[in-house]
Structures are given as C-alpha cells and as structure tokens.
Amino acid sequence: MLPPDDLLLPFANRMDKAKSWHTLKSKGHLPAKLPCPDNCGMSINWHVNSNYKTGWTARITLFNWDEFSFADWFAAIQINKAFPGYENVYSFNGTKLPQLKNTILMQGLPGLNYLVAEVNGANPETDPRVPGKQQSVISFSKKNAKHINVEQGDGFPSKVIFNGEECALPKELPKRSGAYRSPVNLLPAFFLAVFTSLLLTDRWS
C-alpha cells in the first residue's frame, strides 16, 4: 500500500517511493511483487473536504498523465444517497441528471475546458513530470438527505465517467486521516485515490 500522495506521482517514480515507504514502516521482507503501473492516461481524485451538521463538501481533481491534451472534456459521477443534496460545483459547470440514475454531469467553464497534457518538471533531470490538472469543490446539503453517512461511503461516487468511458473504482474506501477535522463535529477528511480510467465498459448499465 502506497501513501495517497505517491499515487499522484508519474508511474516511473513510484517504485523508489514504494521501497522507501516499505523501509519507513518497517514492513519486513520486501515483497517480490511491487506496485506496477496501470498505464491509464487519466486519474480522478475525490477528496471529502468537510462534513458538518447541515452539509458537506468534496473536491474533485482531474489528472492528465498522457502526452496529449483533452479539449472540451466532460465527466459524470453517480452518487446515489448524496444526489438530492447536491448544491453546486464551483470551478466547473455542473448539471443534475436525475433521469440517469442520480448523475451529476461536469464540464469546464467556457474558455477553461482544456485539460493540458503532462509536462516536464521545473528541473527535468531531477524533478518528476507534472500532470495536467483541473479541480473544483462541490457542495452538498443534508436537508434532503438527512440519513446520509458520508464517512461510511455515502460521500463517494459509485460510478465515474470521463469523456464517455467508465473509470475503474477502488474496491475499498479510504481509511480515516487526521489531516483535516471539521470544526463542527470533528469528523476527519477522507481521500479517495485514485479513480483510474479509462476502461471500455458499458456506461450506466
């Protein structure tokens, strides 16, 4: 298991990180099989940012690891129990699509709907390559979703689409982290890394 931040590194830089993490955690004998790349050009991170009495927020981040850019991209998430409380996505255009199984469609704002390709770091000889990135905060109310349990999974999408192709989701939800605590009920933030796309599957079966 790698720390979440390492999943945001290019695949070529993860092997050394995995070995260092193994040593740091004193895990004993280094396994023969180490993390291998998934070779996906896109990844989407979902971070539960806050959780309080009347609502909660998440941050969605799109990473482009490919050598080509995406113009006029779109993404869609299916988030069943949280869907009635959806309020706004702030840096993208967001539209509720209740006829498509509680789906929220997102696109970049006019003139900003261009997800650039991966580029070299500041010092190409020492720094890892940097993916193209766009992100936005999404807010939800609990007024129409009073029985939602964000930290037990209701705050995470059950299906994700990018440019018409379904993303593969992690089989396990992230564990609690003390990185952030809500001032109201002291629930920690959760970090879901990484939705690795792009799998050619049926979209909303």
Residues in a beta bridge with 104: 77, 96
Strand runs labelled E in the chain: 42-51, 55-64, 70-71, 74-78, 86-89, 92-97, 103-108, 114-115, 132-141, 159-162, 165-168, 190-199
Name residue, tokens 């070299």.
120
Domains of the chain: 43-171+193-205 (2.60.40.290)
Query: Residue 31 corresponds to which tokens in the numbers above?
Result: 């396994």
Beta bridge partner(s), residue 138: 58, 89
Residues of the chain scoring pLDDT < 70: 1-8, 12, 26-27, 33-39, 174-205
In whole angstroms, what is the distance from residue 65 CA to residue 68 CA? 9
Closest by alpha carbon to 82, among 136, 137, 143?
A: 143
Peptide bond preceding 2 in cis form (omega within 30 of 0):
no
Tell me what pLDDT residue 178 has.
43
